[in-house]
């Protein structure tokens, strides 16, 4: 079984959930939550929280890690294209994205998820865009913590995994279309879709539990940390707040005011979805850390006019994750499900593409294998073409050689012979006219002798006598040493059996010397011929 770790990098806390999964089933093995420091550099607080979380032995040794992009850095766009062909979509999206972002496309990393497709009407796409430097920074922080995530996904598209793989969790809803609202500390994530079919609309926006803290602090004129602590300990809304007396109702009224930014984003988002799909959102499912507040679902249901409840994990998970904590780990659970999804049911969206691709990812290897396969196919075609051309050229050349050999043997032997070995044996034979031709000639010997004289020796030959057994040479050079050099060079020839130096004299001006060399000529084949 694969051990998949879903990491929710929240602004208030970091959550991790470990899932043991195979192609048919999955089981939650462990979970943990670590609060981030309320003050300090964001990257540093994330590093510290990650180190503490991953030090938990129950979350170690994961086979793969899946995260979603945190914060407000991810921009989401809904695109409509009049076609469904994946290649045309891939070619068109960069132009569409470039027209909608306020910076250069080269500074962006983006990917898309198909929301809906109708053959005759086209495709509805969810596109997420982030600055390249922000993604690189996040991966750097994760790598420092010893984490190399296989998938970096969209926080809203994360719930695609829940809608597809855990549709039974939503079976009690009397609605075809549901909205999953993940209310965190600083950010709220919205995903609208249909169980069994997936997410059709997704976005993230500012607003969440921090807004409730500020509203409570303003109402009671208390410091923000104290307001946050009171909210976690005693905070409640709707009928749950009424049971706490006047202070509870007063705090609930402040919380309602703090929820208004979230409601101002949810209402137009629902209307936008309805305008695109001609379908109404029928129910709202809450999750995220803020969803743990009692009465929140009741209050939002009243404000939105929709059935609303807190989303719960499968029943068997309750033994590992307490029911009160399940809303907070819902995104980590959905991220872990993403690692389990394979094939066509797996969400496409993954920002780890191109230079940021996960090196151990099958998609990465598959892309490289495809490239290598195309190179191999091209090389094979070139080798085949080269072989065909070479064979054709060699065939023509062989025909030309055969024709020349035939002409030579016909002129000398009187008969055409195209077999080289037979032709050579017949030309060497006693009965052949070629047998009477001498193996050596004066011209050959003269050429061999002059080629043997070193090029750096200044020598002038004023007399050369040559026959087939002896060469006599008289010449002039600069010194006796150069005479020895010439003699040594001539001795290297196989036919110059012996080289004798004759009388050496200085010239009249004394600048040079004259010499004689006697060279005995005897080639090995001559000896063999004489012996035979």
Convert the pLDDT of each residue in 487-513 to its tens digit.
888 888 888 888 888 888 888 888 888
> Which CB contacts under 8 angstroms, 24+ apart, belong to 313-318?
313/28, 313/169, 314/166, 314/168, 314/169, 316/27, 317/28
Collect all residues with Cβ–Cβ distance below 8 Å to 208 and sequence separation of at least 6.
Answer: 183, 184, 185, 186, 187, 188, 262, 288, 290
Res 278: pLDDT: 87
Average pLDDT of 83-108?
85
What are the phi and psi torsion angles at 236 (to 5°)? -160, 160
How far out from the chain centre does Cα 347 lie?
19
- Cα angle 299, 301, 302 (rounded to 5 degrees) comes to 65
Decide: residue 243, CB within 10 A, 0-12 exposed, 13-18 middle, 19+ buried: exposed
Residue with tokens 């959550």: 15
- Beta-strand relationship, 26-35 and 13-21: antiparallel
Q: Nearest Cα to 34, choosing from 7, 14, 54, 18?
A: 14
Check residue 368 and give its pLDDT. Answer: 54
- 518 forms beta bridges with 472, 500
Tens of pLDDT, residue by residue over 111-138, are: 888 888 877 778 888 888 888 888 888 8
Question: Taking 90 as the threshold, does the pLDDT of residue 268 lie above it?
Answer: yes
Q: How far apart are CA 420 and CA 422, in angstroms?
A: 6
* End-to-end CA, the chain: 85
Strand-pairing partners, residue 500, are 518
CA distance 50 to 119: 45
Sign (positive or negative) of CA dihedral 134, 140, 146, 149:
positive
Looking at per-residue pLDDT, the higher value among 437 and 63 belongs to 63
**315-329, 377-391, 416-430: which range is least confident on average?**
416-430
Three-state SS letters, 381-433: HHHHHHHHHHHHHHHHHHHHHHHHHHHHHHHHHCCCCCCHHHHHHHHHCCCCH
- Write the pLDDT tens digit of every residue in 11-25: 888 888 888 876 667
pLDDT of residue 269: 92
- Dist CA 28 CA 6 (whole Å): 11
Q: What average pLDDT score do residues 359-382 get?
A: 68
The bridge status of strand 26-35 relative to strand 64-68 is unpaired
Q: What integer best gives the mean pLDDT of the chain?
A: 83
Contact 165, 357 (CB under 8 A): no
Please tell me which residue, 496 or 429, carries the higher pLDDT value: 496
- Could you give the 3-state DSSP secondary structure of residue 298? helix
For residue 440, the cross-strand partners are none
User: What distance in Å separates the CA atoms of residue 189 and residue 477, rounded to the nearest whole number?
Assistant: 100
How far is the CA of 199 from the CAs of 155, 172, 195, in angstroms?
12, 19, 9
> Is there a contact between 151 and 338 (Cβ–Cβ < 8 Å)?
yes
Strands 178-183 and 187-194: antiparallel
- Cβ(189)–Cβ(126) below 8 Å: no
Asked if 220 and 186 touch (Cβ cutoff 8 Å), the reply is: no
Q: Which of 148, 157, 165, 160 is nearest to 65 (CA)?
A: 148
Contact at 8 Å (CB) between 244 and 282? no
The angle at the Cα of 110, spanning 271 to 197, to the nearest 5 degrees, equals 50
- What's the pLDDT at 266? 92
Q: Report the distance separating Cα 359 and Cα 342, nearest Å.
A: 18
Question: What pTM, to 2 d.p., does this model score?
Answer: 0.65
Residue 57 Cα to chain centre, angstroms: 31
Residue 532 has pLDDT above 50, yes or no: no
Cα dihedral sign for 187, 188, 193, 197? positive
- Token pair recorded at residue 309: 């409840």
Q: What is the pLDDT of residue 527?
A: 46
pLDDT in tens, 187-199: 999 999 888 888 8
Distances (CA, A) of 386 to 189, 206, 373, 379, 400: 60, 64, 19, 10, 21
Residue 189 exposure: Cα atoms within 13 Å on the Cβ side: 31
Q: Are 290 and 208 in contact (CB under 8 A)?
A: yes
- pLDDT recorded at residue 61: 82
Q: Could you tell me the two tokens for 298?
A: 């009741």
Partnered with residue 33 across adjacent β-strands are 15
Using alpha carbons, select from 279, 349, 289 the residue that is nearest to residue 76.
349
* Whether 156 contacts 187, CB under 8 Å: no
Give Cβ neighbours of residue 54 (< 8 Å, ≥ 6 apart). Answer: 16, 60, 145, 146, 147
Angle of helix 362-413 versus helix 420-428 axis, rounded to 10: 30
């Amino acid at each position: 079984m694969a051990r998949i770790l879903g990491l929710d990098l929240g602004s208030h806390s970091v959550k991790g959930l470990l899932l043991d999964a195979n192609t048919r089933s999955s089981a939650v093995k462990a979970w943990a939550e670590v609060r981030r420091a309320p003050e300090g550099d964001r990257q540093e607080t994330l590093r510290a929280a990650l180190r503490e979380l991953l030090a938990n032995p129950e979350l170690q040794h994961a086979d793969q890690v899946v995260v979603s992009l945190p914060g407000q850095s991810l921009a989401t766009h809904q695109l409509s294209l009049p076609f469904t062909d994946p290649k045309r979509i891939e070619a068109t999206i960069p132009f569409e994205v470039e027209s909608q972002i306020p910076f250069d496309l080269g500074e962006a990393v983006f990917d898309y998820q198909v929301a809906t497709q109708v053959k005759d009407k086209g495709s509805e796409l969810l596109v997420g865009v982030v600055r390249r430097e922000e993604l690189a920074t996040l991966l750097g922080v994760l790598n420092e913590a010893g984490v190399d995530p296989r998938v970096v996904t969209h926080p809203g598209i994360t719930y695609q995994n829940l809608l597809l793989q855990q549709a039974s969790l939503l079976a009690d809803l009397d609605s075809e279309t549901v909205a999953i609202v993940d209310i965190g500390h600083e950010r709220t994530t919205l995903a609208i879709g249909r169980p069994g079919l997936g997410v059709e609309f997704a976005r993230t926006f500012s607003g969440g539990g921090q807004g409730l803290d500020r509203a409570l602090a303003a109402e009671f004129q208390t410091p923000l940390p104290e307001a946050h602590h009171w909210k976690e300990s005693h905070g409640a809304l709707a009928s749950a707040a009424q049971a706490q007396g006047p202070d509870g109702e007063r705090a609930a009224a402040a919380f309602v005011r703090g929820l208004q930014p979230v409601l101002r984003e949810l209402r137009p988002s629902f209307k936008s979805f309805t305008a695109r799909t001609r379908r109404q959102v029928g129910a709202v499912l809450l999750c995220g850390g803020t969803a743990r507040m009692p009465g929140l679902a009741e209050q939002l249901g009243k404000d939105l006019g929709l059935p609303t409840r807190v989303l719960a994990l499968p029943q068997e998970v309750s033994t590992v994750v307490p029911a009160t904590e399940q809303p907070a780990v819902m995104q980590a659970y959905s991220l872990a499900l993403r690692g389990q999804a394979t094939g066509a049911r797996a969400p496409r969206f993954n920002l780890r593409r191109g230079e940021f691709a996960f090196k151990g990812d099958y998609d990465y290897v598959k892309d490289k294998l495809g490239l290598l396969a195309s190179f191999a196919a091209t090389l094979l075609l070139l080798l085949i073409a080269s072989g065909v051309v070479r064979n054709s050229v060699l065939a023509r050349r062989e025909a030309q050689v055969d024709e020349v050999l035939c002409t030579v043997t016909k002129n000398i032997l009187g008969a055409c012979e195209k077999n080289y070995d037979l032709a050579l044996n017949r030309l060497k034979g006693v009965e052949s006219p070629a047998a009477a031709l001498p193996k050596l000639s004066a011209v050959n010997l003269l050429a061999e002798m002059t080629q043997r004289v070193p090029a750096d020796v200044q020598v002038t030959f004023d007399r050369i006598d040559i026959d087939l057994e002896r060469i006599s040479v008289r010449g002039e050079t600069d010194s006796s040493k150069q005479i020895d050099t010439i003699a040594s060079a001539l001795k290297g020839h196989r036919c110059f059996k012996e080289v004798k130096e004759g009388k050496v004299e200085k010239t009249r001006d004394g600048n040079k010397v004259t010499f004689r060399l006697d060279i005995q000529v005897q080639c090995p084949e001559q000896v063999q011929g004489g012996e035979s």
